[in-house]
Every structure is written in structure tokens, then in C-alpha cells.
Amino acid sequence: MQAPTLGQSLRRVDGRQKVTGQARYAAEHAVPGCVHGVLVTSTIATGRISHLDTQAAARAPGVLAIVSHLNSPRVPGYETPQPDERVEGQQLRVFFDAAIHYNNQPVALAIATTLEQAQHAAALVRVAYEQAGSQTDITKNLAHAYTPKRSENYARGQPQAYKTAPVQIAHEYQTPMQVHHPMEMHAAIAEWQGNSLTVWNKTQAPTLAQQDLMKLWALPKEAVRVHSPFVGGAFGGASRIWPPEMVAILGAKVVGRPVKVLNERGHEFNMVGYRPRGVQRVALGAQPDGTLVGVSHQVFGATSRYEQFTERTLHPTKSGYRCPNAELTYQLVPLDLSTPCWTRGPGETTGSFALESAMDELAYALKMDPLALRLQNFAEVDPNGDRPWSTNYLRECYERGAAKFGWNQRKPAPAATRQGDWLVGQGMAMGIYKAVRAKASARARRLPDGTLVVQSATADVGPGTATVMTQIAADAFGIAPEKVRFELGDAALPPAPGQFGSHTVASVGAAVHAACTALRQQLADNPAAPAEVVREAPEVPEKGEQSSKSFAAHFVEVRVHAHTGEVRVARVVSAIDAGRILNPKTAQSQVYGAITWGLGLALMEDAVLDHRYGRITNADLANYHVPVQADIPPTIDVLFIDKPDPYLDPMGAKGLGEIGIVGFCAAIANAVYHATGKRVRELPITPDKLL
């Protein structure tokens, strides 16, 4: 009998391909006859192109075409836009007309035989504009906020009930514009063969990308192929069709050859999604023993003028704590920027910063331990609908995390601990994130040599999806994982949801389990039966009979230099309830990544806008600061509760990808306050805010 592989730290099945360079990313596929396209982008935020001079560029050596709104092919979906299930409004129509909607918008594509020739031609394109007034500062445009069509507003009990409580706090919190910045920049190679389109692109969702391209080009499913076998990081940024992919497709149609477009690093800013800047106002009221009476949470999120991008900023407040009265509102502020998009832990990450900072402030107002306050308001059922939890081991997260961290040795008073020139502080926060299952399908086929091939059109942006699916398949079929080959990243495979929202293991894993279990039974009943089955696993929606969430308790120690205000995260303990952990090695890496992201958001990352032009001034990795190895704390302890939740899937897993960052920024901010006695309510926490 084959020993089970689920729960074992199996090495990444694609690790050798990646470290030896065999893995092919979007811009690396060898497509015969492929030529190169280089973008020219706008230098204003709003207005119109008054004159576009491409003559010198068109005469440059090797140039095949300069594509712009003057000669771009017609896109059927631009004329009759289809409703999008993810974003309300009209997507940016690349090269559709002379209108400029944001700074860094593509205005032309230079196509040439070599990359260097295309770069030279792009530099020769001259653009004149009729500039209009623009607004890119959310803080100065709150008066123009509106309730989006997909409203996130929520209420229970009495409005403004927090004002009746004997202890109250009310503050405003701000989070910055954050850019995804994966190692692999957005890229695509597009090829037309008659009316059939093939795209090698960077996507977290091959099936969704195929569906979007079908709508845009009015093509049947069999006429659109999407290949994305390897993705060099994404974090939500590769969750839809962006301008680089569209210009490659348009360019290929113009020149009749495959066209490759690879973003420059500067193009990654304000073109292919970002975490929007946000303003939040949180008010809490409690009894002297810490029991919450009421909560008010008001959110203002930035969006483009042409689309309504909404995110789940209020969800931690809806479900995080037992509180009878809640008044939660969500409004959008339209700005002259491109549309934001999902960014790791979208909404919940920023919402939890405000909520968990406010809970810390309430604890100090009550003269109560921050952990004790959270335990006092532990939600025995989901307050959003009073539904039972599928499982909830948050209490164990608190207990195990606090014990490992040594929370009971913490001195309660702020600025009470100093080691030389360094002020030492300790803070904590809670994290909560949805755990759902989307509809997915998988094919299992046994080859004559005994190899089990399993296929699904999912993606692997780095967390180890191919590895975990191999383990699920091996256990379900009863063979060694070395005999399993998991294939993904191709829209021609059985449809699957995108790899985002922490639902890939539950969704695609359930389909893989179903297919492999069915094939095993089929062959056991009749060895001569066809050695292939396809199975679909239905969705388990968020509003089901039970509420399924992942939980976390983060404990952080910081050191703040008394004279310079420099903040160093010294150690971290994150205790995670994400159901059964299918691969501890890849799971731990996921949380390490979340902690790194959270550290960047809390202390460093900030896309700084020059509001005169709507242009990001630090549009490179030299000036947009992200954590490097020297910034990572020397001690990170990740504790998994590792108890199965059978509600979502037969493996007992809940979502893991996002929960490690939800609440983590607040834990850092709370630790900084404990170290210094200074409360920073606007991220990132830079030295100037502490001096």
C-alpha cells in the first residue's frame, strides 16, 4: 500500500525546471517568426492626443509598423462591451481613440525585427497633447465619493451605537498605493492564424483569460488558445487582460506575424493594476470590561473613472469580532488613474490594518491587554448572519502564538523597554480571510507505462500548486507521487478558476481528488475500461449554511532607533488556522512570503504620485522600496494548527495564500506604538513619522 503523501513536505515538482532555466515564462517561448513590440506611453493624466508623429519611427531600420489609434484594428468587444463579473464599467480600450485616461497609458506600439530596433523606433515617436485638469489625490476628493453598484455597505443592530458606550475611540487610517512588482514583468506573445488567436501570456487564470479574449474578439472557444505554464509571481496583478497583452494581439494582426511585448519595469506602474490608496475611519465603543458595544467603519477606496473596482475592505469587520451593532460603509473615489486590481489579501489586508489598529487603541484606552480584548470579543459564530463556523481554531492561534512569542512577559506601558539606542516594542493582531471553493474540473488519465497524467487549466504563480496537486492525485489514486505528472497553464485543459482568492487548493484540489478517485474505482471495477475520466467539483459559496474562514494571530517585536526613527522587525510569530496543511514546506514558504509583503506595506512601499501630472515619481525598484534580505527578521516562527476542515473539500484544507498578510501590518504598527508611544495611522511607517 502506497504511503500517504498529503501532509508531507514534498519538494517542488517543478523546482529543477525553474533553477536550471528549463521553465519558459511568457516572454521566453520560442515562436517562429516572432518580432518585437515596444510601448510608447502617455506623459499626461487626462486629455487628448492632438498630434501623433510616427514618420521618423516608421523609417527607422527594421521597423514593420507603428500601431496607434490612427491605424489599430477594430476590436468587436470595444464596440459592444460585455459585462464583467469582476469589475463594473468599461475596460480601457487600447488604441481605441485619442482620449487619455491616465499617465503611462499606451499611445503607440513600435514593432520591429529586433528588440533594439523596436526600442529605437519607440524613442522616435512624437506625441503632442491637449491636456485637461486631473485629480489623483484621494484625500482631496472624498467629497466626490459615491456608493458603487456592487455595494459593500453592511449594518446590523443600531447605527452609531458605539457612541453610547462608556469607552470610545475614533480615528482615521490611511494605506498607500502599492504596486505588485513580481520578478517577471507583464508580457505576451500573440499570433493570429486566420481567425484563430494564440497567446502566450502571464496569467493567473488561463480559463478566464480565454473567456475574456473570446468576448473581446467575438471568437468561439476553439479559436482562442492561452498558454501560461509558468508564472514568475503575480500577487493578483495577472488576474485580467491588461494593455501589454492587447497591444501584442493588435500588433500581430497589423503585421501578420507573432509579436512579443514585454513591459519595462516603469510600465508596471499605473498600467497593470495596483493596490489603491485608501482612507478609513473606524470608531469603536466598549464596556469597561472590553465587551464591544458598537463599531463604525467607513471606507473610501480609489478607482479609475472608467471602471468601479471594489474590494473586501470591510469583511474583517463584518466577521472578526462579536459585536451586536455595526455600521459599515464603502464608497469609491473616482480618480484620473488606471483601474486598481486585486493585490495580495485584497481589501482584507488594508481593512484589517484599520480594524486591528483601532482594537489596539481601544485596548490602551481600556488599560487592557490587547490579546485579552480580542479574547473577550471572540465570535463563537460568524456575526455576519449568525452562521456556525465550519471550523474556527483562532483561540488556539492566540494561545500557541502567545506562548511561543512570550507575550505574557511583555511590559504593558509604551516606551518602557530600551536596549541601548533602540526602543523595543511588541504588538499583535488578528487575521481573518474567506475560505471558499469555486467550480473547477480536472482530467485524470493513466498511461500504459503506469504514469498518471492529471490536467487542469489552473495556474501556479509560485506557491507550489503543481506540487500539492501531485500529492492530492497520488493519494487519491494510490500511487507514488513520482508516477504523477500534473499539467496546467493551458486554457485547452479542463476549465479551472484563477489562482487567486486563496481557493485554488480547495477548488482545483477537489476536482483532482474527484477525478483520480473515480479513475481508481473505474479501473478497479473493470481493468479494461478506458483509462481516462474528467470530473467537475461544484462551488461551495461563501454564503452557505456554514461560514468557512481561515484565521491567524500575528505577534511581532520591533526595534525603533531612538535618534533616527529607523524601524526594524526583530522577530515574528504567526499562528495560522488554514485547515489541514497539505505540504508544510510550501505552506511555510507561503507565509514567509506574506510576512515579507506585510513588512513592505507596513514600513516601505509607497507609490508616490506627482499630482500635477498624475505620474508616479518613484517608478523603478531603486526608489520604490521593497524588503530585501537584510530587512527580514532573523526569527520567523510559523505555527500551523493543522486541523482539517471537511466542509470545503475532501482534503480538509482551507485557504492559505492570503491569511498570512491579513492583520500583519497592524501587528507591526501596534508594536511600533508599544516601542515609542507614537501612533502612526498612515502607512508606511517611515522615520519622518516617528521623529
Query: Which amino acid would we find at residue 501?
Result: G
Q: Cα(410)–Cα(422) distance, rounded to whole angstroms?
A: 16
Please answer whether residues 514 and 499 qualify as being in contact, where contact means their C-beta atoms are separated by less than 8 angstroms.
Answer: no
Q: 658-680 b/e with 16+ CB inside 10 Å = b? A: bbbbbbbbbbbbbbbbbbbebbb
CA distance 604 to 602: 6
Q: Please give the angle made by the CA atoms of 250, 253 and 255, to the nearest 5 degrees.
A: 110
Which residue spans within 510-624 are E strands per DSSP?
A: 532-537, 549-561, 567-577, 609-610, 615-616
Q: What type of residue is 182?
A: P
3-state SS assignment for residue 302: strand
Per-residue CA distances from 5 to 473, 482, 504, 659 (Å): 10, 11, 19, 24
Length of the chain: 691
Closest CA to 557 of 689, 672, 418, 679: 672
**Cα separation of 152 and 68, whole Å?**
38
Separation in Å, CA 598 to CA 344, 626, 684:
9, 10, 10
Tell me the backbone φ, ψ of residue 434, rounded to 5 degrees.
-60, 150
The secondary structure of 213-250 as a DSSP string is HHHHHT--GGGEEEE-S-----TTTTSS--HHHHHHHH
Degrees, nearest 5: CA angle 310-151-339: 20
Going by the DSSP 8-state scheme, the letter that residue 296 receives in this structure is: E
Question: For residues 51 and 192, is the Cβ–Cβ distance under 8 A?
Answer: no
Side chain identity at 490, as an amino acid letter? D
Quote the Cα angle for 465-467-471, to 5°: 115
Q: Which residues are catalytic?
A: 658
Residue that has been written with the C-alpha cell 475592505 in this structure: 313
Among 382, 317, 326, smallest CA distance to 356 is for 317
- Cell numbers for 125: 515617436
| Backbone φ, ψ for residue 60 (5° rounding) | -65, 155
